[in-house]
């Protein structure tokens, strides 16, 4: 499961800093390298080894780093155990205690243990020195949990209290949550809450919510608000007028017919979901189609199902997401045949319903495409070189499953350790010389690709090298000169965003001015998911769609196939190809 439900992506609390002035051990340095290359679980192991050899505050620092890396690597059980150890060993260090409680709460949420997580989050709010952004995220998560339990007034208090901790767009998003929560209550219940809350800001929100319902005309509403403030001196003025119409919108959502995005909104998923959301909203603007509404899931599959059912009642026309398997299963379990169509962004085995589609974000799409298209082009033998990590192992397994099913032969499979020389691995792989109908299937990130290609070319200068999603970001690495001759498949959006949808790129640069490579990729999925949703709503599943993530087409059982674009690197530059290079060329 993903982490708890914040409204903002939030970094972890700052470290205690003990290790900053200490010469790091080789194991700690290796851990940092693993983190930098996305090998989170390997980093966690190195930090655990480093902690075993350290003492005092330095040991606790490395245990915390191991806990964070485990959480990022989707091992919440390990993260909780490590956080527990920090809590046991720390003495009167409130900053360290706050860090451990934060990681522990996220780990428990990932395992569905929301009551325990709630206790950790509430304790975290009592710890002096808890960073403002972490405090705000914890309050947002607690508001979600209390809403799930039916304690809406408590949830409202948390949302209103966190308002002062937020800035910019985060304030607007928080106000939307407040309005949505108030809009779901009856007028009688809001009046009851007025007699139970002693918080002036909460009182003001409650009063303005009632005034908004009683005065749909904006001028009458503003006059009523001014009259209420005149009779209630001492209340701090909130800027209700700019967003008051949203309270009325919430009551009549059933008439809106939005395309609703059901996305995970916390931990490592938060920035990725922000990229998808930006793509959806950009496509809606360019297509002049239905509006996009973001429904933020929390990491609790039962709540994801509740959000889906709520979206159905509120008039969602179609859903993009869920993304994670447990959320997909939860929505599939409550979805009825007459409910709106769902475009899942991940795969959950066994889910097969009319109106339930899958547009997979998984990297196995590139591996499967290379296997299928290279075999169709006439290749019959493959040599596989992949890194010793879980991601590399999964990608090569997907490739080989398709390749063998087609009848292709495997001449060699060799692994390498990321960040190390690949000469020995290349020699081992090519101990049997490749023939004309052979190619190398190389799995490598940008930091290892040049070394891999150079090592292979020292042994054989002619064998084709095919790599899935070589770029992984929006540009080639600085040393791309050594990659000449390598062929790859990737999104047209990543190869050349301005050609795949010229109008979308500048708009998305504005919406995501500091987008990471991963967010830029996710934005492309948002662009395509919106157009797929439009096709489905028009009941048009014929033909193909030239999308930003590839050429899309509907296949059996609701699967949406995706063929990406081929490219070659020549003299450090990307050269688009019409398709897979033929054997012997």
Question: What is the token pair recorded at 480?
Answer: 């791309």
The answer to whether position 82 is within a domain reads yes
Write the burial class of residue 21 (CB in 10 Å: 0-12 exposed, 13-18 middle, 19+ buried). Answer: exposed
Scanning 54-113, the segments in alpha helix (DSSP H) are 56-72, 76-89, 94-110
Transcribe 227-265 into DSSP letters: HHHHHSTTPPPP--TTTHHHHHHHHTGGGT-PEEEEEE-
- Cα dihedral 52/53/59/63 (nearest 10): -40
Terminal CA-to-CA distance of the chain, rounded, Å? 47
CATH number at residue 109: 1.25.40.10
Residue 486 lies in a domain: no
Q: Helices 269-287 and 517-537 meet at what angle, rounded to 10?
A: 50
Residues 145 and 192 both lie in one domain: no
Q: Is residue 523 part of a domain?
A: no
The radius of gyration computed from the CA coordinates of the chain, to the nearest angstrom, equals: 26
Task: Mark whether 307 and 212 lie in a shared domain.
Answer: no
**Do you find a cis peptide bond into 352, omega within 30 degrees of 0?**
no
370, 386, 581, 320: which is closest to 490 by C-alpha? 370
**In the chain, which residues have pLDDT < 70?**
1-23, 112, 148, 237, 239-256, 299, 469-481, 585
Residue 566 DSSP symbol: E
| Whether the model pTM is above 0.75 | no
- Domain assignment present for residue 170? The answer is no
Cα dihedral across residues 245, 246, 252, 258: positive or negative: positive
In a domain, 276, yes or no: yes
* Burial (0-12, 13-18, 19+ Cβ within 10 Å), 286: middle
Closest CA to 535 of 187, 287, 244, 264: 287
Residues 240 and 272 in one domain: no
Strands (E), 304-380: 318-320, 342-344, 356-358
Whether 429 and 385 have beta carbons less than 8 Å apart is answered as yes
Same domain, 32 and 145: yes
DSSP state of 432: S
pLDDT confidence of residue 471: 61
Residue with tokens 């033909």, as numbered in its chain: 543
Residue 319 CA to residue 159 CA, distance in Å, equals: 26
The answer to the question of residue 337 being in a domain is: yes
Do 126 and 185 have their domain in common?
no
Structurally, the chain folds into a number of domains equal to 4
Q: Are 426 and 458 in contact (CB under 8 A)?
A: yes
- 267 phi-psi bin (left φ>0, alpha ψ -120 to 50, beta other): left
Question: Tokens standing for 275?
Answer: 């990229």
Whole-angstrom CA distances from 132 to 127, 262, 322 are 12, 27, 30
| Cα-to-chain-centroid distance, residue 43 | 21
Strand pairing class (565-570; 573-577): antiparallel
User: Same domain for 352 and 373?
Assistant: no
Smallest CA-to-CA distance from 199 within 150, 146, 163, 251 is with 163
Helix axes 40-53, 56-72, angle to 10 degrees: 160
Cβ burial, residue 359 (10 Å; 0-12/13-18/19+): buried
What's the distance, CA 437 to chain centroid? 39
The CATH number assigned to the domain holding 333 equals 3.40.50.2300
398 plus 343 within the same structural domain: no
The reply to whether 374 and 406 lie within a common domain is: yes
Q: Looking up tokens 């952004």, which residue turns up?
A: 133
Same domain, 36 and 89: yes
Helix (H) or strand (E) segment spanning residue 202: helix 200-214
CB atoms within 10 A of CB 578: 7
Q: Which of 505, 481, 503, 485 is nearest to 495 (CA)?
A: 505
Q: Could you list the residue range(s) of the whole structural domain that residue 208 is in?
A: 176-251
* Residue 124 domain flag: yes
**Quick one: DSSP state of residue 468?**
E
pLDDT recorded at residue 350: 77
Cα angle 298, 303, 307 (rounded to 5 degrees) comes to 95
Task: Give the pLDDT score at 421.
Answer: 80
pLDDT score of 438? 96
Residue 403 shares a structural domain with residue 311: no
- Whole-angstrom distance, CA of residue 42 vs CA of residue 259: 39
Residue 506 is assigned to a structural domain of this protein:
no
User: Are 70 and 131 members of one domain?
Assistant: yes
Specify the pLDDT at position 20. 41
Q: Are 193 and 246 contained in the same domain?
A: yes
Which residue, of 449, 468, 487, is where some domain finishes?
A: 468
Q: In terms of Cα–Cα distance, which of 327, 383, 310 is closest to 110?
A: 327
Token digits of residue 108: 């428990």
Give pLDDT tens digits for 329-342: 999 999 998 999 99
- List the 318-320 sheet strands across, edge first: 292-297, 259-264, 318-320, 342-344, 356-358
Q: Quick one: 205 exposed, middle or buried, by C-beta within 10 A (0-12, 13-18, 19+)?
A: buried
Helical packing angle, 517-537 and 504-511, nearest 10°: 120
Please say which residue of 316, 335, 358 terminates a domain: 358
303-325, pLDDT tens digit by residue?
Answer: 888 889 989 988 899 999 898 88
> Which tokens is 382 given?
């493959």
Last residue of a domain, one of 306, 339, 358: 358
């Amino acid at each position: 499961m993903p982490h708890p439900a914040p409204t903002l992506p939030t970094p972890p609390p700052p470290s205690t800093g003990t290790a900053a002035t200490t010469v790091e051990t080789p194991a700690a340095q290796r851990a940092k390298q693993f983190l930098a290359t996305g090998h989170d679980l390997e980093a966690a192991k190195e930090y655990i080894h480093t902690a075993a050899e350290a003492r005092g505050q330095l040991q606790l620092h490395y245990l915390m780093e191991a806990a964070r890396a485990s959480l990022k690597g989707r091992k919440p059980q390990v993260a909780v155990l490590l956080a527990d150890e920090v809590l046991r060993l720390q003495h009167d260090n409130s900053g360290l205690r706050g860090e451990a409680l934060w990681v522990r709460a996220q780990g428990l949420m990932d395992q569905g243990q929301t009551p325990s997580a709630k206790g950790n989050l509430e304790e975290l709010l009592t710890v002096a020195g808890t960073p403002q952004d972490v405090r705000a995220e914890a309050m947002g998560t607690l508001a979600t949990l209390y809403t799930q339990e039916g304690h809406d007034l408590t949830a409202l208090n948390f949302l209103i209290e966190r308002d002062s901790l937020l800035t910019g767009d985060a304030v607007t998003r928080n106000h939307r949550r407040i309005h949505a929560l108030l809009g779901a209550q009856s007028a009688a219940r809001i009046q009851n809450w007025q007699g139970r809350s002693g918080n002036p800001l909460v009182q003001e929100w409650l009063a303005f919510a009632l005034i908004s319902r009683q005065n749909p005309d904006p001028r009458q509403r503003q006059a009523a608000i001014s009259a209420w403030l005149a009779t209630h001196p001492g209340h701090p003025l909130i800027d209700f007028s700019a967003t008051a119409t949203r309270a009325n919108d919430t009551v009549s959502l059933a008439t809106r017919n939005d395309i609703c995005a059901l996305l995970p909104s916390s931990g490592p998923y938060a920035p990725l979901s922000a990229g998808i959301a930006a793509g959806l909203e950009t496509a809606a603007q360019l297509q002049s189609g239905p509006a996009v509404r973001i429904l933020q899931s929390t990491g609790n599959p039962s709540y994801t199902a509740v959000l889906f059912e709520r979206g159905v009642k509120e008039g969602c026309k179609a859903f993009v997401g869920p993304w994670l398997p447990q959320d997909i299963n939860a929505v599939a379990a409550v979805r009825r045949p007459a409910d709106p169509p769902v475009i899942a962004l991940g795969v959950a085995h066994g889910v097969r319903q009319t109106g339930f589609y899958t547009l997979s974000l998984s990297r196995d799409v590139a591996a499967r495409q290379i296997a299928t298209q290279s075999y169709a082009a006439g290749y019959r033998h493959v040599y596989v070189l992949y890194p010793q990590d879980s991601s590399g192992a999964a990608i090569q397994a997907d490739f080989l499953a398709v390749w063998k099913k087609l009848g292709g032969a495997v001449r060699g499979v060799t692994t390498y350790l990321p960040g190390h020389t690949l000469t020995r691995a290349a020699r081992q792989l090519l101990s049997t010389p490749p023939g004309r109908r052979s190619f190398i299937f190389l799995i490598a990130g940008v930091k290892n690709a040049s070394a891999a290609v150079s090592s292979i070319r020292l042994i054989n200068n002619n064998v084709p090298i095919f790599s899935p999603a070589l770029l992984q970001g929006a540009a080639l690495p600085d040393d791309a000169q050594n990659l000449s001759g390598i062929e790859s498949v990737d999104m047209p959006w990543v190869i050349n965003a301005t050609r795949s949808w010229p109008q979308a790129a500048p708009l998305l640069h504005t919406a995501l001015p500091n987008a990471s490579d991963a967010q830029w990729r996710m934005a492309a999925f948002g662009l395509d998911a919106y157009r797929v949703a439009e096709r489905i709503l028009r009941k048009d599943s014929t033909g193909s769609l030239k999308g930003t993530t590839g050429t899309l087409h509907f296949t059996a059982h609701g699967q949406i196939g995706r063929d990406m674009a081929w490219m070659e690197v020549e003299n450090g530059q990307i050269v688009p190809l019409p398709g897979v290079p033929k054997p012997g060329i």
